[in-house]
Amino acid sequence: MTTAARPSPRERLLETAAALSYQQGVGVGIETLCRTAGVSKRSMYQLFDSKDELLAASLERGAAAYTASLLPAADDARGHRERILHVFEQLEAQAGAPEFRGCPYLAVEMELKDPDHPASRVAREVKEGLAEFFRAEAAADGALSPDLLARQLVLVFDGASARAGIGADHLAGLIMPTVHTLLDAAGMR
């Protein structure tokens, strides 16, 4: 019987930082992070210059998986409108999970309030990637003002994610009609 190798201290710290900052916020302490990861503070500081660097690295590590959980596959043959709707269908499905706390990247930006913080920069890149996806899909479909539509869709995404994340709203039956209205107004087929 073979046993799986235990993740390295670096991997445990990255995973723990991602999980605890999502559950408890970015103010989670170094002591808690290290204890939960099973890594000494000394080891943590040998691997990362600061908690800020650890947080940024954990967000960067999870960015591709987060994006993949929302966006349709590159070879998805559906139309541009359906590809945009897919993102909101995924958000609605994710928001139904009891552990959902909203978009982790929006939460980091809101909590830190410092656009120059390394974690804020990572979060902003992820959010800009989502906006670019919306813009590109809208432009490819010939939408009126793809840039404006992308900004509107991100606003709906972030607002819906935040409201569902704090338990203020359930997205079922709420988010999709809003998105359809925006897509219709932009002339997307």
pLDDT given for residue 26 in this prediction: 94
Q: Does residue 4 lie in a domain region?
A: no
Q: Does residue 143 lie in a domain region?
A: yes
Q: Does residue 141 lie in a domain region?
A: yes
Q: Exposure of 100 by Cβ count < 10 A (0-12 exposed, 13-18 middle, 19+ buried)?
A: middle
User: What residues make up the domain containing 61?
Assistant: 9-185
pLDDT given for residue 6 in this prediction: 87
128: pLDDT strictly greater than 70: yes
Q: Does residue 114 lie in a domain region?
A: yes
- C-alpha 170/C-alpha 79 separation (Å) is 27
| pTM, rounded to two decimals | 0.92
Q: Does residue 1 lie in a domain region?
A: no
Q: Does residue 140 lie in a domain region?
A: yes
CATH of the domain at 152: 1.10.357.10
82: pLDDT strictly greater than 70: yes
Residues in contact with 139: Cβ distance below 8 Å, sequence separation at least 6, in sequence order:
146
3: pLDDT strictly greater than 70: no
68: pLDDT strictly greater than 80: yes
Sign of CA dihedral 108, 112, 115, 121: negative
Domain count along the chain: 1
| DSSP assignment string, 6-66 | PPPHHHHHHHHHHHHHHHH-TT--HHHHHHHHT--HHHHHHH-SSHHHHHHHHHHHHHHHH
pLDDT band at 153 (very low <50, low <70, confident <90, very high): very high
Mean pLDDT score across all residues of the chain: 95
Q: Does residue 113 lie in a domain region?
A: yes
